[in-house]
Amino acid sequence: MANFSNIGDFQFDVLREVGNIGAGHAATALSKLIQKEVDMKVPQVNIIPFDEVADFVGGAEALVVTVFLRVEGDCPSNMFFIQDYDSARNLLAQLIGIEKDHQDALLSDMEVSALHEIGNILAGSYLSSLADFTKLSLQPSVPALAIDMAGAILSYGLIELGRVGDFALTIDTAFFEGNEQVKGHFFLIPDPDSLEILFRSLGVPLDGN
Segment 25-73, tens digit of pLDDT: 888 887 887 777 777 777 777 888 777 888 888 898 999 998 888 899 9
CATH number for domain 4-201, candidates 3.40.1550.10, 3.40.50.300, 3.30.70.260, 3.40.50.1820: 3.40.1550.10
Q: DSSP string spanning 95-122?
A: HH---TT-TTSPPPHHHHHHHHHHHHHH
> Which pLDDT does position 96 carry in this prediction?
63
Segment 71-98, tens digit of pLDDT: 999 999 888 888 888 888 877 877 666 6
Report the amino acid identity of residue 48: I
CA angle 156, 145, 109 (to 5 degrees): 130
**CA–CA distances in Å: residue 121 to residues 81, 124, 128:** 11, 5, 10
> Which pLDDT does position 1 carry in this prediction?
44
Distance from C-alpha of 29 to C-alpha of 31, rounded to nearest angstrom? 5
Distance from C-alpha of 40 to C-alpha of 20, rounded to nearest angstrom? 9
Closest by CA position to 98, among listed 86, 89, 109: 89
